[in-house]
Structure 1
Amino acid sequence: MIPTIRDVAREANVSIATVSRVLNGLTGYSDKTKQKVIKTIEDMGYHPNAIARYLNNRRTQTIGVMIPAVTNEFASAVLQGVEEYALERGYSVFVCNTAVDGNQTMKYLQVLREKKIDGIVFVCEVLDNEHKNLLEAMKVPIVLVSSVTDDPHIPYVRVDDKQAAYDAVRYLIEKGHKDIGMISGSQEDPIAGTLRQQGYRDALYDKGIAFRRSRVVYGDFHYDSGMTAMETLLKQDKGITAVFAASDEMAVGAMNYAMQQGIRIPEEISFIGYDNIRLSRMIYPALTTVGQPLLQLGQEAVSKLITMIETGRTVSSQVVPHEIVERQTVRDICIHNI
């Protein structure tokens, strides 16, 4: 017979309310009692019933994560941060792969509505009016990761994409580079696409370097588009000495294409990426990049979400710091010209 919460309480010689409080991470019992209840739960193999829990406190202790391309390393690192923190707080995670273009978002929002999840973490996606209307009907809190909204009731956790891109290009300029190309994300992406390109342009402008449209090409943040974009970039402007790519995957794709053409890295062309995924340090030469704290993005987002679920109040947004991670793909022209 499957054990119930009543069976656990009887075996541990505590009240059902105490078992419930332990399960939901609430206070009001000693550590000794907590350990006894936990051991009893483990020994009996008790698993809380989500439906019963919902009927009891109107929560399922489940959060939804809307995330594009869960197979890529950026997404998986953010998701790891979400899951680790959520599990520590007694929440389960329901993951929805919205695809790169977000065309499955509405479908999954309906699924999450049926599952009666307690809140949603949106990763790398802009909320349109259709999304917002459904979310308002669901009446659950939402936190954005690596995105932003003008709705003051929807907090976000992200790096400053424009400043991070600015710092990446400024780093290249300080190494003596003036002929800098950019492999940007999608032109339709108002966050990682538009903001990172604006940071690129601002850094050039502040250093008195003319912006050339021929030196900006577009990809979709993934490896294959980096190869294609590098081919286009070299056809449009053979004078570049450095490339800033808006993702590490595109940077690695671009590097691979350049090496296939016999171009030496960083002697002939330098590269800097964005994200600091594991791949950036596994390749040779190891990629210099803009580091985002991917695990922290996920952890901070779910922390804010759980606070909103359990208190009913809106929390503030957060911009987390980025850094330039120096490796082997940027040549210092200034040193070599001395």
Structure 2
Amino acid sequence: MANIKEVAALAGVSTTTVSHVINETRFVAEETRERVFAAMRDLNYAPSLVARSLKVKETNSIGMLVTTSSNPFFAEVVRGVERYCFEQGYNLMLGNTEGQAETALSYLKMMLRKRVDGLLIMCSEGQQEVFNQLDWLKNLPVVVMDWGMESKDVDLIADNSHRGGYLATRHLIELGHTDIGCITGPHSRAPANQRQAGFEQALQEAGLTVNQEWIQEGDFDCASGFSAMQRLLAQPKRPSALFIFNDMMAMGAISAAHQAGLNIPQDISIVGYDNVALAQYLSPPLTTINQPKEELGRLAVTRLLARINGVRVDNHLITVDPDLVIRQSCAPFPAP
């Protein structure tokens, strides 16, 4: 494989000039640049990206820590992030932490060794250990997506979960339901609490009682949605409608209802949250709150690139508004 000295000899210039042409670190006359590029082509020379990154202190790569890529919501956001990174000329280095702080730190150290230009952290709540490392991240630009702590050292891009919870519950109320329950996410996570606050606000505005027995906690996965629905169905009186705090739990809840011999929406109406691609193919297709996943990814990458390029920003918290997608998993009460 050719080296930089052979390129310089063939082009009739110094190795320093070849380096300046490759790294664009100093003006080089166009005629000289053309000779260097011609020599590189003739010798099939490919400059070392690692060496270039050490000189210009940029690798055109971004690291991303995500808590789990098995959830369709995260996979769809990651796809949007990757697409926008590619459009901007950046590579994405992905680390799936599975919610484990030790794994997150291992990936973080690896990404720092690879000299990523910036870092995206998605679903970081509960991983305080990661944020404790910000002292030794020094000047690495960081943007947190979806969940996480607010800090002057990072930007936070999040969906307006309170509004989403309110919209879901208002939809059920407008369909005539008064006995409305919910399956929440873990109360240790801010979006779960915000969605519940929106749920309760909508009930209170309508003069309806919040029945604590009809509020069951899940863990944002199918299995916990299945178990929570079983607990609700075991009660002497069940709600006529449910707001479920993500589509994965809604899938589990629908399965539990079907196994109990119930029909949706005739026996119980359900609204999910996230609008993952699979939601439209459930039976029945799921009414859900749409998180603008493409916008979430685009905003995160845009803000991170601004930080990488030294653009000053005063607002460190950006929220994106969700909207309601109506399908066939809800019916007016009483059901026809």
Cα distance, 1:112 vs. partner? 2.1
Aligned partners of 2:196, 2:311: CA distance in 1, in Å? 37
Task: Tell me the alpha carbon deviations over residues 240-263 of structure 1, each in whole angstroms, 9 at most, x when there is no partner.
Answer: 111111110110110111011111
- Does the 8 Å contact 1:3/1:45 carry over to 2? no
2:134 is matched with 135
| TM-score normalized by the length of structure 2 | 0.85
Aligned position for 1:331: 331
| Aligned mates of 1:68, 1:45 — CA distance in 2 | 41
Do the aligned partners of 1:102 and 1:125 also contact (CA within 8 Å) in 2? no
Equivalence for 1:179: 179
Superposition TM-score, scaled by structure 1 size: 0.85
Separation of aligned partners in 2, 1:92 and 1:5 = 29
RMSD of the alignment, in Å? Answer: 3.2
Alignment size in residue pairs: 323
1:88 matches 2:87: yes
- Deviation of 1:321 after TM superposition, in Å, equals 2.2
- Identify the residue that residue 209 of structure 2 maps to in structure 1: 210
Give 5+ residue unaligned stretches, structure 2. Answer: 12-16
Unaligned residue ranges in structure 1 (runs of 5+): none
**C-alpha distance in 2 between matches for 1:312 and 1:160:** 25
Q: Following the alignment from structure 1 to structure 2, what is the Cα–Cα distance between the partners of residues 172 and 302?
A: 35
1:154 aligns with 2:154: yes
Greater alpha carbon shift after TM alignment, 223-232 vs 237-246: 237-246
Correspondence list, 1:1-338, <5 A: 1=1, 17=20, 19-20=22-23, 49-100=48-99, 102=101, 104-126=103-125, 130-139=129-138, 140-189=140-189, 191-236=190-235, 238-311=237-310, 313-314=312-313, 316=315, 317-333=317-333, 336=336
- CA positional deviation for 1:85: 1.2
CA distance in 1, matches of 2:42, 2:208: 69
> Quick check: 1:6–1:16 contact (8 Å CA) kept in 2?
no
- Contact 1:5–1:16 (Cα < 8 Å) also in 2: no
CA contact (8 A) 1:153 1:314 kept: no
Report deviation, 1:110: 2.1
Q: Is the 8 A contact 2:7 2:39 kept in 1?
A: no
Give the Cα separation in 1 of the matches to 2:163 and 2:96: 29
Say whether the 8 Å CA contact 2:266–2:335 is kept in structure 1.
no
Note the alpha carbon deviations across 1:165-205, whole angstroms, 9 max, x for none. Answer: 1111111111111111111111221x222111111111111
Over 3 Å counting, the alpha-carbon distance change for 1:40 and 1:328 in structure 2 is: farther
SS at match of 2:198: helix
How far apart in 2 are the matches of 1:125 and 1:106? Answer: 12
Q: By how many angstroms is 1:42 displaced?
A: 9.7
Please say if residues 204 and 211 of structure 1, whose CA atoms lie closer than 8 Å, have aligned partners that are also in contact: yes
Distance 1:212 1:47, change over 3 A: farther
- Secondary structure of the corresponding residue to residue 104 of structure 1: helix
One-letter amino acid matched to 1:226: G
Letter of the structure 1 residue corresponding to residue 90 of structure 2: Y
Whole-Å Cα distance in 2 between the matches of residues 43 and 303 of structure 1? 38
Q: Percent identity?
A: 31
Change (3 A) 1:229 1:5: farther
